[in-house]
Amino acid sequence: MLGYILRRLLQVIPVFFGATLLIYFLVFAMPGDPILALFGDKTPNPAVIEQLRAQYHLDQPFLVQYWYYITGVFQGDLGTTYSGRPVSAVLAATLPVTGRLAVMAIGIEFFLAIVIGTISALRKGKFFDNVSLMIALVAIAIPIFVVAFLAQYFLAIQLGWFKPTVGADNDWGGLWLPAIVLGFSLYAVSMRLMRSSVIDTLNQDWVRTAYSKGLSRNRVLPVHVLRNSLIPVITNSATNFGVLLVGATVTEGIFNVPGVGNTLFQAIQRGEGPTVVSFVTVFVILYVLVNLVIDLLYGLLDPRIRYA
């Protein structure tokens, strides 16, 4: 087990350098001058422009810029935005907001997937199963911005159950509406996976053996069926969690969530290489660690899984 964990952690090193180098190159290759963009329609002093370019090493070749960035990262410095704010401060302000939103959305997705998927599997071919599959297809087909606008109009404006926008009220209570939108948009795939997995598990020999030993349905379903059916759902939810951490840009924009998605989108527009690369670097490490935890969780759900 320890050797497996160490090997997975060592895999972070090439992923780290590959991701930072690739993203930094893509930002470097973007057209336009990010320093001129800071001044908008104004005509800046050429001396000021040269000073700012030298300050952010934009007058250096690509590899030299990357070297300055990567050495700063190993010294605990993620760089500075072109507005003069440390990237670490921006990340510290936005990542918790997106983290709360992602946890709430995954929780809603996971709950709906397990409950609806299990009931659909147990009632295969019946009315509830057919309706749940139709709703899942609708959830997959409708773009998330349509779901967001509908939820904002009906649940917030018409019914008044939630605030239409988040803004500064970005604690757990203020993020319910965008979390519901994201959870509903994500649950359909997990629900179908849960349904298929439960149907497959119900036909396994160990389930029939458990029933033949006289175990009740209330004992067989949670211990023998649900436990072994959760692996594909957990895998899909872990992938969704990584995607949400990168930033649900559309949802955050519609609900004015001051999270990672909005900040990263604005940084890309301004061509802020250090901000974009630092954000992506943190996300890559978080994503790898989350998937490591999920892989280790497989062993708890299925005792047949062993890590050499």
Q: How many Å apart are CA 54 and CA 63, to the nearest integer?
A: 15
SS3 assignment for 156-197: HHHCCCCCCCCCCCCCCHHHHHHHHHHHHHHHHHHHHHHHHH
Contact 27, 74 (CB under 8 A): no
Give the pLDDT score at 131: 92
**DSSP labels for the chain?**
-HHHHHHHHHTHHHHHHHHHHHHHHHHHTSSS-HHHHHTTTS---HHHHHHHHHHTTTTS-HHHHHHHHHHHHHTT---B-TTS-BHHHHHHHHHHHHHHHHHHHHHHHHHHHHHHHHHHHHTTTSHHHHHHHHHHHHHHHS-HHHHHHHHIIIIIIIS-SS-S--TT--STGGGHHHHHHHHHHHHHHHHHHHHHHHHHHHTSHHHHHHHHTT--HHHHIIIIIIHHHHHHHHHHHHHHHHHHHHH-HHHHHHTT--SHHHHHHHHHHHT-HHHHHHHHHHHHHHHHHHHHHHHHHHHHH-TT----
In the block, which residue shows the tokens 């510290």?
92
Q: Exposed, middle or buried, 287 (CB in 10 Å: 0-12/13-18/19+)?
A: buried
How far is 56 from 71, CA to CA, in rounded Å?
14
Q: Which two tokens stand for residue 273?
A: 């290489």
Q: In angstroms, rounded to a whole number, what is the distance separating the alpha carbons of residues 163 and 175?
A: 9
- pLDDT tens string for the chain (308 positions)? 677 677 777 777 887 788 778 877 877 777 766 666 666 667 677 777 777 777 777 778 888 888 888 888 788 777 777 777 888 888 888 888 888 888 899 999 989 999 999 899 888 889 998 999 899 888 888 888 888 899 988 998 888 888 888 877 778 888 899 999 998 888 888 899 999 988 888 887 777 787 777 777 777 777 777 877 888 888 888 778 777 876 577 888 888 888 888 888 777 777 777 788 788 778 777 777 777 777 777 666 666 666 55
